[in-house]
Amino acid sequence: MAWTSTHGIGAILGSGSKFNIAVKPGFALITPSDASQLSGEIHFQIPRPPKGYNSVYAIKLEFSSQSASVDSFAVYIGNKNKQSESNLQWTTTEQSRFANVLALGEESGIEVVIGISFDAIGSLLKFQSVDVKYD
């Protein structure tokens, strides 16, 4: 088994999401920028695993929050949604193991899309990393 990860500073704002992403040493601080939109998505691009590792085994999100939560995530391999989980309401570091190992294609990139929600304009979410375990 092998792990690859991307730092929280790799957070990419989802289309239509109205959040501020402040890059700090070792993490990204995500806050809502509009009180009328307190939920949305952030995206992370994950590096390919070393040769010989051909499937995704697990995903780990390293984060902490203040009046915010991770509500869903989806893993895309290439441009296909391979795994999704919703109604999570995670408020601290969590790990989710996949029920089925997800096969990687030869040229496939990996993207993790994370749905987040804030309770109020002053809420925040601090992302340290998104990690993927390969088999």
pTM comes to: 0.90
Spell out the domain ranges in the chain: 2-134
Phi, psi (deg, nearest 5) at residue 104: -95, 140
Residue 119: predicted pLDDT = 96
Question: What mean pLDDT value characterizes the chain?
Answer: 88
Determine the average pLDDT of the residues in 90-105.
Answer: 75
From 89, 71, 91, 73, select the one nearest 81 (Cα to Cα).
73
Selected residue with higher pLDDT from 81 and 103: 81
Out of 23-32, 59-68, 73-82, least confident range = 73-82
Please state which CATH class domain 2-134 belongs to.
mainly beta
Higher per-residue confidence, 18 vs 52 = 18
Residue 95 pLDDT > 80 = no
pLDDT digit string (tens) for 48-69? 777 788 788 888 899 999 999 9
> Of 29-38, 42-51, 94-103, which has the strongest mean pLDDT?
29-38
Half-sphere exposure of 53 (CA within 13 A, CB side): 15
The residue count of the chain comes to 135
For 26-35, what is the mean pLDDT?
94
